Each structure stands twice: as structure tokens, then as C-alpha cells.
Structure 1
Amino acid sequence: MKRIFELNHNDVTTFSKKELIKTIKKSEGRTIMCETVISSQSMVYGVSNPELAASFGADMITLNTFDFNMPFVFGLEDFDIVDENVASSYIKLGKQIKANSTNNDYIRNLKNILGRFVGVNMEPVPEGFLYPKGLQLNEENLKKAIKLGFDYIVITGNPNTGVTINTIVEGIKKAVDILGDRVMIIAGKMHGAGRENVYDPQILKDFANAGADVVMIPAPGTVPGMDQDLAKRQIEVIHEAGALAKTAMGTSQESASINVIEKIGLMSKMAGADVIHIGDAGHCGIADPENIMALSIAIRGKRHTYRRMSYSIRK
């Protein structure tokens, strides 16, 4: 089994959930996930945020604010649509989004461009909570995740979505029932999301016991009280429960100095993280690209970072 930064285009586009989990384990804490907002103009016009993240060394790309009812990734297909006439541009974009809604290969086509594993945030919002249906974790969207070809889903809560610990647990159970062995399930919290941070180890066990393949916690230094020692204790609990562990920086530090990113990456690795996540709260819905590369170099060196960056253009 290859390590994740050694995979080629064919590996990424054909791997099963089981193989994805194996390659993460084989990589010994050197897997990088990058989250990107795809519902607003990308950082570089004509280049999508997922493409930018891949080119700077990410192994896994998570789409935030992807709407299952209106699939569209800015920067991927709007280069020839948007022009000086704002009104006509919006009409053209609307037509493209409508066409995308019936394209079952939309995400597979994105994966073919990226050569990376692609996942999506899904919000298990409480019943009756006012939130776009296309962003919610529900039966319809879970089935679409399989149909579109997502490699994994991330069950979590963006700020002010009403997501609670209980809705995350119930969301995991629903996802397990529908996704089975076809799509990897990641669940947890990277910050309070307008509510509470997770410090109780029993909650982490509950996530794993409910069926999460990967349990997410805040990276050391990203939320109050989360240092390397606490992260290590939490990760030990997650591993004992049979799941992989992911540390996430999602408190806007993804646009901090390179020195900060390197420290968070090394503390995460020393704590035992299997996956290290860098969030989307930089300019235009993506971490500073230099910070993505700096994180990669910090946890696996230039050799494997440059290899990963080069594979972004090789099939």
C-alpha cells in the first residue's frame, strides 16, 4: 500500500473507502486535508480554490458550502461565463448551475482535474432549523454524495448552524446506514461553532461508536485550553475506539504566519493525529496557499511536498 503522498492520478480516482483508510494509516500522520469555500469567487480568477489547494500540496480537498441542489464550484467553469455585463453573467451562471444539477459526474470530473480525494461538509442541523436544504445532512443529500462520487463526508457545524453534539451523533448513524462502505465518514468539531467546544472524551467515543471512521478535534493552539497534551489524550481515546483522528485548524489561523502554521502542524503530529486539516478562513475561502505548503513541509519535508505538488498535473 502506497502512502497518500505517493498516490498517482489513477490511484486517487479508483481507491475504495477501505483503501483510503489504509493509505492514511500507512502515511503516519503525514496526510493533509484542505478545506475550501466554493460558493464565492475564488482567490485566483479562472482557477478554483480546490485546484489551488491541490497545487500547493493538499492530499484531500473538502468542499465547504457545496449545495447538493445547486452544484457549482467557482473558478472551475465560470471563466467563460462571467463578463462585463453583470445581468447576463448571472443568467448564464443560473443556466450552468441548472445543468450541473442533473450531471451525476460533476464531482468525478472535479476529481479528474485535481487528482485528489474530494469530500464535502454536511451540516446535521436540528429539525426545523432555517438552513439551506442543499447543505444539510439528510437522506437525499447522502444518496447524492454516493451518486456524485465523493470520497468522504465531514459531519460538523459551521458557525450559527444550530448543530449540537446530539445532532452530530444522529447524523453519523444516518450516514452509516446510507453510505455503508462506499464513503468515508469524518465527524466532530473543529471549534465551538457558536455553541460548545468538545473536551469530554466520552463524546469522542460516542462519535466513533456511532460509526465515524475519522473523529475530528481542534488542533492544538486553535481553541482555548487545547494544547498538545490534551490533544494527545483525546487522540488516544479516538484510537482506542477504533477510529482515525484528525486535528483541524478552523479558527482563522489558517491565514496566520507560516511560523504559527508550522507549530500547529508539528504539535498535531506529536499528539498523534492521522490527518491534519487546514481550514478555509483565509482570503476568498481558502487558507493562504503558502501556508498549505508550509504545513506540508513541516510534517513531511520538501521531498514529499514537492512530490505531492507535482502529482497535481500528472495522470
Structure 2
Amino acid sequence: MAGLGGRIDRLGDRIETVEDRLNARLPPSLKVGLGVLYWYSTRTSARFDAVADRPAVRRWSDLAIATLLVLQVGTLALVTVAAGNALGREPTALNDPVNTVAIPGVNDFMPLASTPYVVLALVVATVVHEGGHALACRAEGVPVEEWGVALLLGVVPLAGYVLPDDALDEADARTRMRVFALGVQHNLVVTVATGAILLSSLTASPTAAFLTYFGWAATGGAAPTAAAVAALGPLTNACFWLVLLNANVGLLNALPIGPLDGGRVLSESLAAVADRTGYGRSSRLRTTAVYATSGVVVALLVLAVVGPYL
């Protein structure tokens, strides 16, 4: 075992050396790490800071905390129902683990023809989400060290990200909860705004869009074709995926899973309750509660996908 550990350490050192050499040659706005290319910036915007300085941003962030806590209860209930319903059902394309990966051409519900719309929606969802974190950071006086986009193998967009200063760790619980919660609320705002467009006369029926992409899985039909996607029109396709992926990003992050925004808000909420009541002040106890909750939620998510195969 010691020999294996030594080999892993040496391999890690070699990878780090290669990455250091590559980063030394890349432009200042690019860096690599573990097969991911980061396109980032450390600059700030005076206009963005001016918006963040408005008192309304803090009230908006407080609303985001309440919204996230409500969503935690709702999403947990939905996941529990989905897991229960999955047991005893016949598997369909909806339960195929491959279709949990949002890659057009791999996911049966995302034909290659949908690629521009899926990529657009993913970029908007991540930028809006991380922009919410950045806005709350600036409103609370927490510096943002770095922000940017992560690209797998330098091509596939993984996520936008915001890297706050260590001052966030030293901030009070309410400040941290504002920062964690605002990204989810911004995803919901985009969901509602694009959903309103999708329901208007400017687009095809949202029911037609849903049936084109997902209805076939329930009826046993064929996966969507390029012609079916084109028939919906660009605006309908764009709004449909903006609604779907922003809702998914927001709801997923609201779940009480440790590393996600919902898990962090849950931890801060438990700490706040402990401070007020005097019970459960042990950080180890709170950590155990958060990880236990995370384990249950992850198990329910897995069961919702693989339940029909059991």
C-alpha cells in the first residue's frame, strides 16, 4: 500500500509540474488544472459595485434566503416522491443513467441539433448563478479574488465560478447565507422570465416543446430529430432550455447536500438555531447532521434514477 501511495504522490507531482509549465506559457487570463482550462479575471467593475452598494440588494438577498429554505423543503419532498414512484416501475429512457449527463448527442433528450440552445442555457444558468454570488459578496463587502469559466479539456463548458476572498469565512452567518442563497434566486428569476416568454404568443406551445423533447419517452416513440427541433423555431428552443436548465440548476443547488448552496445554508441555519437556543453548538454535531442529510438526499436521487432497475 505504501508503494502504491508513493506512486500516486509521484504522479501527482509530475502532473503539477506539467501544469506549472503550461500555466507559465499561457496568457494571464488562462490557467489549467486537472484537465480543466480556466478562463478567468481578477478585475472588478465600478458599475457592478455601484449596483451592489444599493440597500435593496441586501433585502433581495434576505428574500433569497427565505426562498432557498422553502425550496429545500419542496425539492426534498419531490425527490422523495420520485424515488418512491421509481420503485416497481418499468425502466424508460428517463431512467437511463446516460441521460443524466447534459451532453447533446449523448443524452437522448438532447439531439445534436439542440446543441446551441443547450450550451446557451447552460452558460446563462451558470453565469446568472455565479453572478448572484458575486453580487452578494460585493454588497457585503467581501472581495472577489477571481471569477471565470471552467472548460473541460479546454472546450466543454463545465461551469462559471466565483472565488470569494477568505473574508467570507470570517463573516457572520447572515452574510454567508446571503452569498450562498442569491445564486439560486437568480436562476429562478430567469426561469420565470423565460417561462413567461414561452407562454406568450411569440413562441410555439410549451406543451409542444416538452412533447418534442421528452414526450416520446412516455409513449415509447422515437427520440427528437433535427427536423422536429427546427420545427419549434429558435425562440421556442432557446426559451425551453433556458427554463429547464435554470430551474434544474436552481433546484439542484437548493437541495440540502453539503457542498451545494443548500447544504451550506442548512449548516449556517443549524448554527444560528444553536446560537439562539444553546443546543447543538458543537460544530462536529452540525457537520454530522449536514452530511447525514446529504447522504439521504443523494441516496434518494440515485434511487429515483435506478429504482426501476431494482
Bucket of the pairwise TM-score, normalised by the shorter protein: under 0.3
Q: More helix by proportion, 1 or 2?
A: 2
Q: More strand by proportion, 1 or 2?
A: 1
Q: Return the index of the structure with the highest Cα Rg.
A: 2
Given the two structures, how large is their TM-score scaled by the length of structure 1?
0.22
Given the two structures, how large is their TM-score scaled by the length of structure 2?
0.22
